[in-house]
Homo-oligomer: A and B are copies of this chain.
């Protein structure tokens, strides 16, 4: 069983742009680092439910497809689920819509108490206040023979990486300089030491770097 993580970052290592606003909850910089991923056929089909077959089919799409393959359980932070966007609405079910792309149990790390939410496609959001190790133990029970993906956001990703819990980290680096926001690599000195590293450049210009142990 592999604990996997896929992140989109800028060339200066920003994983969470800092200029969010209520009109633009992900921030204007967000688009720059997810453009190529959002343009893939897999993303359009799986996340946007676009069945026209449109979208890119090159290197970026190969990574996008792998993103969802063989995952048995997911872990994400409250922000990625969407809790921060409408904090006063008790019926808000996150921003993933009626067919969340996960289709597996998702552990949402949050201090807010909330009953689980089940979707017909197999996605089940479960809300838990727990340190990374404990969340991972529970995810292992859920995942069966599948892998566990730690989805993000930045704080959750950095906590799992710093704790040495991630077996495969894939970063998709868009060659733009954001200059502001949360940087992925801070405090991860010598992270590469226990990993083999491989890189390739997509048609879009995105640089895919994968750390595997």
* Residue A191 CB within 8 A of the other chain: yes
CA distance A186 to B181 in the complex (A): 11
Quote the shortest CB–CB distance from A109 to chain B (angstroms).
24
Tell me whether B179 and A186 are in contact (CB under 8 A).
yes
Q: Among B175, B189, B198, which residue has its beta carbon within 8 angstroms of that of A180?
A: B189
Neighbouring B residues of A183 by C-beta, 8 Å:
12
* Residue A66 CB within 8 A of the other chain: no
* Residue A53 CB within 8 A of the other chain: no
Quote the shortest CB–CB distance from A210 to chain B (angstroms).
10
Tell me whether B11 and A209 are in contact (CB under 8 A).
yes
**Complex interface residues of chain A between 160 and 206 (CB less than 8 A to chain B):** 175-180, 183, 185-192, 197-201, 205
Interface residues of A (CB under 8 A from B): 11-13, 175-180, 183, 185-192, 197-201, 205, 207, 209
**In chain B, what residue has the closest Cβ to A180?**
B189
Given the known inter-chain contacts A12-B13, A12-B185, A201-B200, please indicate yes or no for A192 contacting B177, CB distance below 8 A: yes
Given the known inter-chain contacts A12-B13, A207-B207, please indicate yes or no for A199 contacting B175, CB distance below 8 A: yes
Tell me whether B205 and A177 are in contact (CB under 8 A).
no
Tell me whether B209 and A207 are in contact (CB under 8 A).
yes
Q: Among B179, B188, B199, B209, which residue has its beta carbon within 8 angstroms of that of A189?
A: B179
Neighbouring B residues of A209 by C-beta, 8 Å:
11, 175, 207
Neighbouring B residues of A11 by C-beta, 8 Å:
13, 185, 192, 209
Neighbouring B residues of A200 by C-beta, 8 Å:
201
**In chain B, what residue has the closest Cβ to A188?**
B177
Q: Among B178, B185, B205, which residue has its beta carbon within 8 angstroms of that of A197?
A: B205
CA distance A207 to B11 in the complex (A): 12
Closest 8 CB pairs of A and B: A179-B189, A12-B185, A199-B201, A175-B197, A177-B191, A177-B188, A177-B185, A176-B192
CA distance A90 to B145 in the complex (A): 70
CA distance A187 to B12 in the complex (A): 10
**In chain B, what residue has the closest Cβ to A205?**
B197
Tell me whether B191 and A199 are in contact (CB under 8 A).
no
